[in-house]
């Protein structure tokens, strides 16, 4: 059984990813990270609920110890009342310090609280809601075991030749001006693979990724295997929509970096995100990205 998230749910957020995470809860695209974005002064927007429903439970949970983050996170369980495909399921939401109370009714888009960072986050990851769905007979507290998620929204694959100029930087990342969203605020876009579809995931710093928007449902996708490449550089093999990365290294201007952060977005700040905690780039600097077999690097 798969859960379809309609456009009315996803359109509340600037970005989303099914695979860009190191945690087993995302295996096979069984959880989704929803990014609301930030305000113009840099503050993070409140955490809009993906669904309407009733708060069933809130609790504090342990998070992996990281020097830059608290050792606890928060879990919110909702019983959804809409949209209709979610009736009868439980919704698990992490990374929100709740302002809602047990028994409280929330509408889709209502704030659930304050987005927080915890040890589940890598330092380059933006604040987001982690969302999963469980059937009535499933344990809602286990980290893994959520239902596979279908995307009820079109995603436009963007051609990208691997080049661009740096438009913003952080301590662990740099963002390029390409590929650029052709119509910000409208459809979701992502980096397109050579043979079609949108690449999702942390390449190769997380175990695997996803190939989205190739057409058809999860059931139709089955487990057929296909090679996934970008600009002629082989990335790995997709079984259905899940990619097992090859042993590859991402390079920027011929020097190795940690990897690429790949996701779907509809905001005007979209561009290739280089994960590079051991390298620095300057705004305006030209960059060429390639993916090489690690044996050749």
Q: Report the range of poorest mean pLDDT among 50-59, 83-92, 100-109.
A: 83-92
Q: Where in the chain is the domain with CATH 2.70.70.10?
A: 3-151
pLDDT at 213: 84
Mean pLDDT over residues 15-43, rounded?
86
Please tell me the pTM assigned to this model. Answer: 0.93
More confident site: 219 or 88: 88
Q: Which of 51-60, 83-92, 141-150 has the highest mean pLDDT?
A: 51-60
Q: Which fold has domain 3-151?
A: Glucose Permease (Domain IIA) (2.70.70)
pLDDT at 224: 72
Beta-ladder partners of 97: 114
pLDDT-derived band at 261 (thresholds 50, 70, 90) equals: very high
Q: Say if residue 204 is preceded by a cis peptide, omega within 30 of 0.
A: yes
Q: Is 41 a residue whose pLDDT tops 60? A: no
pLDDT digits (tens, 9 = 90+) for 140-163: 888 888 999 999 999 999 999 999
pLDDT at 223: 58
HSE-CB for 261 with a 13 A CA cutoff? 23
Q: Is 221 a residue whose pLDDT tops 70? A: no
């Amino acid at each position: 059984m798969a859960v379809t998230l309609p456009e009315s749910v996803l359109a509340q957020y600037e970005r989303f990813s099914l695979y860009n995470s190191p945690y087993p809860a995302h295996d096979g695209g069984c959880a989704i990270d929803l990014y609301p974005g930030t305000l113009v002064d840099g503050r993070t927007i409140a955490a809009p609920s993906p669904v309407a429903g009733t708060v069933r439970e809130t609790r504090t949970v342990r998070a992996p110890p990281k020097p830059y983050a608290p050792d606890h996170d928060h879990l919110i369980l909702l019983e959804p009342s809409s949209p209709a495909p979610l009736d009868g399921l439980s919704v698990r939401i992490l990374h929100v310090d709740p302002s809602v109370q047990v028994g409280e009714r929330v509408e889709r888009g209502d704030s659930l609280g304050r987005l927080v960072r915890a040890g589940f986050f890598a330092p380059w990851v933006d604040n987001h809601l982690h969302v999963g769905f469980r059937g009535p007979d499933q344990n809602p507290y286990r980290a893994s075991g959520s239902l596979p998620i279908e995307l009820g929204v079109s995603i436009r694959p963007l051609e990208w030749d691997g080049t661009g100029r740096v438009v913003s930087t952080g301590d662990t990342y740099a963002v390029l001006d390409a590929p650029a969203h052709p119509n910000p605020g409208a459809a979701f876009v992502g980096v397109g693979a050579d043979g079609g579809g949108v690449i999702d995931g942390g390449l190769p710093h997380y175990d695997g990724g996803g190939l989205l928007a190739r057409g058809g449902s999860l059931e139709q996708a089955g487990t057929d295997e296909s090679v996934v490449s970008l600009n002629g550089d082989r990335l790995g093999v997709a079984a259905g929509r899940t990619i097992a990365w090859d042993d590859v290294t991402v390079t920027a201007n011929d020097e190795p970096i940690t990897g690429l952060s790949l996701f779907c977005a509809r905001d005007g700040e979209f561009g290739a995100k280089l994960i590079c905690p051991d390298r620095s780039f300057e705004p305006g600097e030209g960059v060429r990205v390639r993916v090489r077999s690690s044996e050749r690097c």
